[in-house]
Amino acid sequence: MVSYKSETASGASDGDDTESGVGMTFFRTICRWIDTLNKWVGRGVSWVTFLVVLVVFVDVVMRYAFNISFVFVQELEWHLFAFIFLMGAGNTLLKDGHVRVDIIYQRLGPRGQAWINLLGVLLFLIPGCYLIIVTSSKFTITAFQTMEGSPDPGGIPYRYIIKSTIPIGFILILLQGISMGIKSFFTIIGKDLGLETQKEGKITEEDGVPATDTDTLKPKLDDREER
């Protein structure tokens, strides 16, 4: 995965941050705080994918083996699904896992990529997240005011909680976008924020199993020099 974070080192910077100490320390702290938040949220959410497999499986087994089924369980299935894709999105942005049309992007150097990311954050990501956070907060608050639950008897009575994952999820994305913008800015001005890359230790050939990178649908390769 070509990430702007890992490439800052190869940019103009040589990590000399004494001259603008306070500002950089401040921004570094913010980025680190946001990255850590989304890292841990992501780790939690990843377990929910396993949970949803088990819940649907148990539901199937109960239905066909014992002929029983609970509205509660069926609602839980899509509650968990919604939870995964909304709450995990910030983490996905942290790992640069959202699809890009990188026909041009992948040919740019770290600085060019940083420009795209900074402008994208300012023009698209922040306004877009703001739009969803504001409109969905209204939507959620209405649900909270009526303490909305499932309309079906035996359903989950906390519909207002699952609705609130829309604004919360997009707040996580917004925060991660801000972190991305800050990092891009420092890449552009040629300063290294000194943040460790977020690429996690992937399982590689060590088990004789080829690694499927997290982004199974999203290839990143380093052949841009070649073409």
By C-beta, is 70 or 220 nearer to other proteins? 220
DSSP string, 74-129: HHHHHHHHHHHHHHTHHHHHHTT-S---HHHHTTS-HHHHHHHHHHHIIIIIHHHH
Footprint of other proteins on 161-200 (CB under 8 A) = 162-163, 166, 173, 177, 200
Tokens of 193: 């924020």
Q: φ, ψ for residue 164 (rounded to 5)?
A: -70, -10
| Cβ-contact 215, 221 below 8 angstroms | no
Q: Which of 9, 53, 71, 147 binds other proteins (CB under 8 A)?
A: 53
What is the CB neighbour count within 10 angstroms for residue 146?
A: 9
| Local structure of residue 2 (DSSP, 8 states) | -
**What's the Cα-to-Cα distance from 118 to each of 4, 78, 178, rounded to whole Å?**
11, 35, 9
Judged by CB under 8 A, does residue 84 bind other proteins?
yes
What CA–CA distance (Å, rounded) separates 196 from 194? 6
By C-beta, is 32 or 218 nearer to other proteins? 218
By C-beta, is 24 or 168 nearer to other proteins? 168
Interface with other proteins (CB under 8 A), residue total 85
Q: Which of 15, 127, 157, 190 binds other proteins (CB under 8 A)?
A: 127
Instruction: Find the part of the chain contacting other proteins (CB under 8 A) among 19-27, 32-40, 117-125, 191-199.
Output: 117-125
Q: How far is the CB of 146 from other proteins (least distance, A)?
A: 15
By C-beta, is 81 or 144 nearer to other proteins? 81
Judged by CB under 8 A, does residue 70 bind other proteins?
no
| Cβ-contact 13, 117 below 8 angstroms | no
Q: Which of 82, 156, 161, 171 binds other proteins (CB under 8 A)?
A: 82
Q: How far is the CB of 206 from other proteins (least distance, A)?
A: 10
Instruction: Find the part of the chain contacting other proteins (CB under 8 A) among 18-26, 31-39, 97-105, 190-198.
Output: 97-105
